Structure 1
């Protein structure tokens, strides 16, 4: 697939997701809600509508398309739900008690633009809104499918997924009881990243296949594709932390080294990390070969993740 064609598809889905998020974060309460405090709604919009690649929702939409999701399926609704979880995690990761970041996507982080308490509540509200959206009847006519999506999202986002990964990341930095940073080997770093970054990406790929009614073998293939993509995404992110600049990346760089945190890049070096990224792109392409030209977008996605500059 031509690079410009992929970028147009990515931008198109991002715009559709943005419009959906704008709609669900309107000031007017949804059915069953009593009132929406204006400051909280504004903080949520600041967190969610500040741009971004929308990679995770893109993967939901594109995997659903690959397996022929019909018009009765609202993949965009499921995608928006996942993006709410991702954005909540960024709001909380940026807090002073976590990564203490002032900049996100080139804009002040939520706790800087508003205040710390509002940022915490905005993250809480985005997380709960995500499950509201995923459980909506419009997402899929089969309540069993919606229930499976809600369950899988909870597991990808929670104790044994993204939140658990953040806990391991803090421990690796020596953040508890005044401890020193832990010397993690490559396998330990991969396990940490499979939770913190990989779990939601893996969920995105399987969720689209589940929405479209793909069989167990196809879903397993998409899970593996998501695992590869998650590792590639984090490896590229770690490279940007080393060789990128804040103006281009849209957030602070060189933070891993300052925190004494081990990454795959620090363990293997920049050149080897780039080689590993290329190997991951090749493996992703091999996984998608059985689907032929229909999988061109997902093949291009792997290359995009590995070569991104922000």
Structure 2
């Protein structure tokens, strides 16, 4: 009954936001990087920080005792991202808030106690890089919501049947927020886009859960729960460096962008394929007893081969 009530609250919350966004003209206008062609409401991903606030309301004592630093980090990164959705901010301001949020996240997971100090800079780079990967991949209808849903459900399974590493509701609430968001976003003509507040918000929550799992188990293989995003972003950055392009400028070189923009494949099909590939990886990952290096080879050799093959074929076909 609680989850039904939470879903209703989240549904009402996003409808209220739509009225606000429409009144204040918070919209996404297509540009040369976009895979869409129509003006759409932006910032629908505000549902994710709202979900955490609702989580706190229903689990007040637990939230105060265990999730305070995480919540501060989440709300900080979502606030600055929402402002950036409305008005472009300087990189220094955004990066400063991101660093503060990551510090709070690492404190929440216990990384500062469990990991030697020389590892901390590596964790900062990995987490901020993964957050930006989430943002880079948020370019077509359904991608962020479906991909996050697959990862969150995988984490829920791990928490229930493999090793309990957090409160179950801390995973279920973002699952419910993804479902509500997808109701409006997983469409041919989306009612709203996540915006930076959405990609950063759900990305921060997912990364927090994975980091918590790794700290509790010592199993670094779980970072591969985001391996499809990671592979796509890293290979695209390498490609742009080889082409001597500015990797910080907007572009349309991601494989999903080529399929959506050049091949005109349905956004919903592309998003679903990415999610299914990650799901297959997760099933193998969770049940595998192989060492991490072997898991990485088994995942990335065929996945990387498929990715490079498809990209080469599309670029040749469309002379890109």
- TM-score by shorter chain over 0.5: no
TM-score (norm 2): 0.32
- Structure showing greater relative contact order (alpha-carbon pairs closer than 8 Å, 6 or more residues apart): 2
Q: Larger helix proportion, structure 1 or 2?
A: 2
TM-score of the pair, normalised by structure 1: 0.33
